[in-house]
Amino acid sequence: MKSITLKPALLGLIISSSVASVAAPVFPSPGNSRTSSHVTHVIEVKAKTAAERSRIVDLGFAIDELRSDAVYIFGKARDADTLRRAGFRATATPAKSEWFTIPQAVEAMAARFTSLTEVETQLQDLATRFPNIVEVQTLGRTNENRVTKMVRISGKSPAQAEAAKLPVIFYMGCHHAREHLSVEVPLRFAKHLVENYGRDADVTRLVDSREIYIAPIINPDGHAYDYTNGIRGRMWRKNRRRNNDGTYGVDLNRNYGYQWNTGGSSSTPSSDVYMGTAPFSEPESQNVRDFVNSQPRMTTLLSLHTFSELILYPWGWSNDSIGQNGRGNPADLPVFEKMARDMAQWNKYKPQQSSDLYIASGDTTDWAYGEHGIFAFTFELSPTSMWDGGFYPSPARIEPVFEANLKPLMYLLEFSDNPRRVLTQRAPSFLTSPAKRGVAAASFSDVQF
């Protein structure tokens, strides 16, 4: 994830001497102690510029929170020593057990985050109830031999879609295991499309004229490891590859082949941004690669993450804009910028080039655009801060976050026939009219300490 805000009053609450803070529990992975996530502290690091933030990531740290003059990292007390030796001002404060617990607010008792098995069951249920437009497909298998499921949604058969040269769009969630909201949004979007087919004229038109693929969980092994009865998490980010040194995991969103290992990732297996031994070393990223490679009509891709409320577009690997130094088509930059600004009108997220935050190479969207010319975006969903729920917000927030993003998801679907037409054609009335379902930016004002 990438983040941009922090409430000063809450910062004082957390970073002040904190002798009464409760150390977060350590959740061991299979094997020796080096395999556990060992998140015991939050590290505040003073950093004001993108270059400073990029240097922090190059040291092997995943930035979990970012504000104007500092970043925050979930890690160990000794990580602060590493950062200080590199010339940064760093402070380690004991983590709190609440950060690993999903709040169970009264109004949310009927809701909870969805397990891997439940996601698979719900996808199959959609195919059973709507066999004319939904098909469950296998994206591929994982390190631990789990099957990665996705759905194809279209009013046309594969043969009809090929004959008509229908545009293909791909929505993905959960590259990073602890980002559970990134599962819920695409899952709910699949339900929205199929349950409104034949009832809503715009949904029906788009389902009939597009091939839509939705994979809620790209990282099933990591998700299954992090998910604990819908009420706790292990702060796990990566997949579950057993590395040669006994540690676990590769950051799947640093494992894609375009400009792999050019900054913003780590060659150290214990790092949260470990890029793997080679581009596409992981079966999970291979699954995405092979599927996208098989879809020459794919025009649009969305990778959902949490948290920060951002709409990001290439490049992440470079500070160059699209089209500079021969990388990408300069005519595409205004298209990306316009699409990001348009979508931000509804979810109220901040639109920007990914590397404005810090350099990160080997990510999904850079690869999709750099290799295939696909208009690819990353959404960093709500909340804005670890102090407002972070990776484990209350399940009461699931529906508001989906509502806030429904029109952006529909916007991508609408313009997937030709994203460049956003520069010359107005959005259809169903997008510009007042929200049908009370869509508004999610509010994350509750504090969980």
Q: Which helix (H) or strand (E) holds 303?
A: strand 298-306
Using CA atoms, how far apart are residues 40 and 273, in angstroms rounded to an integer?
18
Confirm if 281 and 249 have CB atoms less than 8 A apart: no
| Pick from 42, 56, 52, 145: nearest CA to 95 | 42
| Pick from 375, 373, 393: nearest CA to 383 | 393
- Catalytic residue flag (residue 337): no
DSSP 333: H
Using CA atoms, how far apart are residues 394 and 180, in angstroms rounded to an integer?
11
| Pick from 412, 438, 400, 413: nearest CA to 184 | 400
Task: Tell me which of 120, 179, 211, 380 is the catalytic residue.
Answer: 380
Q: Which helix (H) or strand (E) holds 312?
A: strand 310-313
Using CA atoms, how far apart are residues 281 and 283, in angstroms rounded to an integer?
7
Ranges of beta strands (E only) in 154-202 are: 168-173
Using CA atoms, how far apart are residues 249 and 143, in angstroms rounded to an integer?
10
Enumerate the active-site residues.
380
